[in-house]
Structure 1
Amino acid sequence: MGFADDHLIPLVDEGLGNSAYLVDLGDGRALAVDAARDLRTLRAAAERRGLTVAYAADTHLHADFLSGAVQLGHDHGATLLASAAGHRAFAHRGLADEDEVDLGGLTLRALATPGHTDEHLSFLLLDDGRELGVFTGGSLIVDSAARTDLLGADRTEELARAQYRSLQRLTRLPDATAVWPTHGAGSFCSAPPGSERTTTIGAQKQTNPLLAAPDEDAFTARLTGSLGSYPAYFDRLAEANRRGPAVLAATPLLPVLTPGQVGSLLADGGYVVDVRPAADYAAGHIHGSLSIPLRDQFATWLGWLLPDTAPIAFVTGDDQDLGEIVWQAYKIGYERLAGRLAGGMPGWLADGNPQTATPFVAADRAGDRPYLDVRQEAEFAAGHVPGATHIELGSLAARAAGAPGGAVVACRHGERAMTAASLLERAGHTDITVLDGGPDQYAAARGQQLVRGGETTHP
């Protein structure tokens, strides 16, 4: 068909660090690969080109987002393509190793590449037998390979060894073959930092440190040794994707809630999430609410810190995108969205309710307080304040009793630190200050040098 570069449209979710792909098949039809439940960007790209999604392929049972394949099947009549070994509970075409799908000029060949998951497939796109590129999902990714511990610690090494064999298979493709991974920088599925989200087989042979491992044992040690923590909701979504997400008839809405309704929800065990910027939350918020600013990473922290079984009400600011709140929640399976506070914090105060403030200060005004760093382990090891206590944000709620009293809480910019302060406040801590900045600014204000490496102080 004469495949051109612009026939492949990457659709990047910066917050989750993933890429979906839309392939223009040249006849008004398209193939979607690893589409998430939030289909807004994909739909817009398809509409611009006048495309109907005829095929929706998933490389694996995703743990970090709900698949949009079932919705595409409902809305477009798309044929759903996925591994037969995944035992999905909805209508799809189950594929085994080396099975091929005729896309009408192009061919999609399934390659069994277990490791990230048991049933993982990569999809090799062929044009008259010529290898154009391979959708590698969570197998070979830019300068790494996706994590192998999502099925439990007892399977991590076994799957890492399977990942080694899968990557060896993929590197036997021609060097010019494009590599189109799903997981990229920002993903908790082990992608390293960097701006590149696609690559080639030849480039990965030159730059991927895992491929430089001399043997399977060394590869396994390198991969498993690099695994950090991951959001709690990852443990739920693979099964939700196997069952198939519910089809949505329309964009879900956020009903308006009175201050009384929000107060009752909180008192009855629900959650109030304040999505305003950190500085706005600091200036005044509902006691017991959680600060999770609405930004690209909103879904990650919502899914890491809150259960999906309790109702959630939101406090929003002027001009914040309510649809963005809804879709970030729904794409990770959070559907018990009770609504939003009518009038925001001004409405809360006008109803005679109190508010709580949290000091949010620059480094030179932080005072002589214990320093609590809530960044990820790798960030902490790369450079931290001398004597800092380190508790990752994702584990802070369970370890709040061990957090130092009267601390200055810090991350890199302040958003995660404000979330941490709200968790600590909810757990009964008082006299918490949040650093508007990060360790570089704090150390510079005190004439200190950052400590690098694993000198971690844990409570």
Structure 2
Amino acid sequence: MTHPFTPEILEAVVGFADDHLIPLVDEGLGNSAYLLDLGDGRALAVDAGRDLRALNAAALRRGLRVAFAADTHLHADFLSGAVQLGHDTGAVILASAAGRRAFPHRGLVDGDDVDLGGLTLRALATPGHTDEHLSFLLLDGGQELGVFTGGSLIVNSAARTDLLGAGRAEELARAQYRSLRRLAELPDTTAVWPTHGAGSFCTAPPGTERTTTIRAQKRANPLLAVPDEDTFVSRLTAGLGSHPAYFDRLGELNRRGPAVLTRDPVLPALPPRRVRGLIADGGHVVDVRPAADYAAGHIPGSLSIPLRDQFATWLGWLLPDTAPVAFVTGEDQDPSEIVWQAYKIGYERLAGRLDGGMDAWRADGNPQAATAFLTADRAAGRPYLDVRQEAEFAAGHVPGARHLELGGLAAAAADAPPGAVVACGHGERAMTAASLLERAGRTDVAVLRGGPDDYAAARGLRLVRGTEGTA
């Protein structure tokens, strides 16, 4: 089947997106939500997360009310904001009927059309990332404008197929193969608006482009260039790295529907005695200050997760959601950012934050610990422990390095070399790793201030690739 690819059609599609579509990127999770201006004061939200601050601000700027909230699939990496939008704005929730969601919604099957008032949203069954995955094709009359592909076709790849269990990865990869080829039959001019992008743990490759076109993907996506289904399955499943532990539970939470929030959650101030009591009762303390501040002095046994875009990922990967959490913050850090990052992945047992920070902790007579934070020239002679992801490590690492991914380090603390300097790309994840090791009784480690390039340059070494030169 062929479709015309004329400058006039391309200009119309691009112009529509520029005028009506607002991508909302979560840099930390590597995902995009979309707000579509329907032209009559109403809007469609697609794959909105529970932290609706950016979406609500965009709607307010345009004077829009969200009338429809569509989810392409049962998300594993964030809690959906669709239920909240249904409560706040009366939005009709659009989602796959096969998802058996336990809250009011309009269940769609393949080929169903939704009248948006001049525009039409058509459901396309595209299983693979999940069983019940839908893509949403946006039509203006008979003209295909774009397709919201969620975790099916993404920029130069396709989303992972193992989130329902490793035993189903191949089966779902075969479904993903058929879904991508179905999408590739759309007109070349059709815009592609995926959810997962660079930075996502759903197998999105690195890069800056978050949207694309069918034509561009036919040319650039290696998974659309494979000769057959078996090759597709082999290539897609070979690239499946580790993923955060909380992915295993959010799909079901999204099926049941997140609790509606009637006010913005807050993080109350806790005196030191309350934090001591929380620790004694089995709670956790997370220190969100920059790595250097944590290194200089921290509550013994606390976990260092610096507050940045990736905060939610590491909180959800390294701590269970079954015990209360207190936080240590710096003076210029916004407690609301901690709360929203936690809530968007389903962490709601937030006890509060240490009132007065570490100054108050010390003034109350409590002990503190410190961690050596070394520049590359001072780290020479120590075993080198690299805690980055497998793909990062394979792309270039210090000769003789020991590799243990941060996500699995708590269970492998005994395998860390004695007296190691722990390293990542800059120092944040390495400080998190050191705090995990200290919690396990490994107080002999230090953290590299920098990354493998800095260490190699200081010692006159050449980085190696793959598994070459590993300890």
Partner of 2:457: 444
Partner of 1:310: 323
Q: CA separation of 1:320/1:150 partners in 2, compared to 1, >3 Å: closer, same or farther? A: same
Partner of 1:71: 84
Indicate if the aligned counterparts of 1:83 and 1:120 stay in contact, CA closer than 8 A.
yes
**Distance across 1 between alignment mates of 2:194 and 2:417:** 41
Alignment of 1:157 onto 2:170: yes
The alignment partner of 2:222 has SS state of: coil
TM-score when scaled to structure 2? 0.96
**Distance across 2 between alignment mates of 1:447 and 1:453:** 20
**Distance across 1 between alignment mates of 2:163 and 2:155:** 20
Partner of 2:8: none
Q: Deviations over 1:1-49 (max 9, x none)?
A: 9945220000000000000000000000000000000000000000000
Give runs of aligned pairs for residues 396-435 of structure 1, distance below 5 A.
Answer: 396-435=409-448
Q: Deviations over 1:341-362 (max 9, x none)?
A: 0100011011111211111111
**Distance across 1 between alignment mates of 2:340 and 2:70:** 21
1:367 CA drift (Å): 2.7
Partner of 2:350: 337
Give runs of aligned pairs for residues 184-223 of structure 1, distance below 5 A.
Answer: 184-223=197-236
Alignment of 1:268 onto 2:270: no
Which stretch shows the higher mean deviation, 44-53 or 397-406?
397-406
Partner of residue 402 from structure 2, selected from 380, 386, 389? 389
Partner of 2:6: none
The alignment partner of 2:433 has SS state of: helix
Q: CA separation of 1:78/1:144 partners in 2, compared to 1, >3 Å: closer, same or farther? A: same
Q: Which amino acid aligns with 2:227?
A: P
Partner of 1:289: 302
Q: Deviations over 1:399-442 (max 9, x none)?
A: 11111111100000000000000000000001211000011110
Alignment of 1:227 onto 2:240: yes
Indicate if the aligned counterparts of 2:317 and 2:407 stay in contact, CA closer than 8 A.
yes
Structure 2, unpaired ranges of 5+: 1-11
Partner of 1:368: 381
Indicate if the aligned counterparts of 1:390 and 1:456 stay in contact, CA closer than 8 A.
no
Alignment of 1:351 onto 2:364: yes
Partner of 1:7: 20
Partner of 2:4: none
Indicate if the aligned counterparts of 2:399 and 2:470 stay in contact, CA closer than 8 A.
no
1:310 CA drift (Å): 0.5
1:457 CA drift (Å): 4.4
The alignment partner of 2:32 has SS state of: strand
1:269 CA drift (Å): 1.1
**Distance across 1 between alignment mates of 2:125 and 2:337:** 35
Partner of 1:132: 145
Alignment of 1:252 onto 2:265: yes
The alignment partner of 1:224 has SS state of: helix
Q: Which amino acid aligns with 2:443?
A: T
**Distance across 2 between alignment mates of 1:253 and 1:313:** 12
Indicate if the aligned counterparts of 1:62 and 1:241 stay in contact, CA closer than 8 A.
yes
1:86 CA drift (Å): 0.2
Partner of 1:17: 30
Partner of 1:97: 110
**Distance across 2 between alignment mates of 1:453 and 1:340:** 42
The alignment partner of 1:132 has SS state of: strand
Partner of 1:238: 251
1:267 CA drift (Å): 2.0
Which stretch shows the higher mean deviation, 260-269 or 157-166?
260-269
**Distance across 2 between alignment mates of 1:165 and 1:122:** 13
C-alpha RMSD of matched pairs (Å)? 1.1
Percent identical pairs in the alignment equals 82
Partner of 1:58: 71
**Distance across 1 between alignment mates of 2:456 and 2:91:** 55
1:456 CA drift (Å): 7.2
Partner of 1:40: 53
1:444 CA drift (Å): 1.2
Alignment of 1:83 onto 2:96: yes
Q: Which amino acid aligns with 2:73?
A: H
Partner of 1:298: 311
Indicate if the aligned counterparts of 1:3 and 1:127 stay in contact, CA closer than 8 A.
no
Q: Which amino acid aligns with 2:427?
A: G
The alignment partner of 1:210 has SS state of: helix
**Distance across 2 between alignment mates of 1:230 and 1:76:** 34
Q: Which amino acid aligns with 1:343?
A: G
Partner of residue 181 from structure 2, selected from 168, 186, 189? 168
Q: Deviations over 1:51-86 (max 9, x none)?
A: 000000000000000000000000000000000000
Q: Deviations over 1:173-212 (max 9, x none)?
A: 0001000000000000000000000000000000001111
Partner of 2:3: none
Q: Which amino acid aligns with 2:278?
A: L
Alignment of 1:279 onto 2:266: no
Indicate if the aligned counterparts of 1:370 and 1:408 stay in contact, CA closer than 8 A.
yes
Partner of residue 134 from structure 2, selected from 121, 143, 148? 121
Indicate if the aligned counterparts of 2:76 and 2:249 stay in contact, CA closer than 8 A.
yes
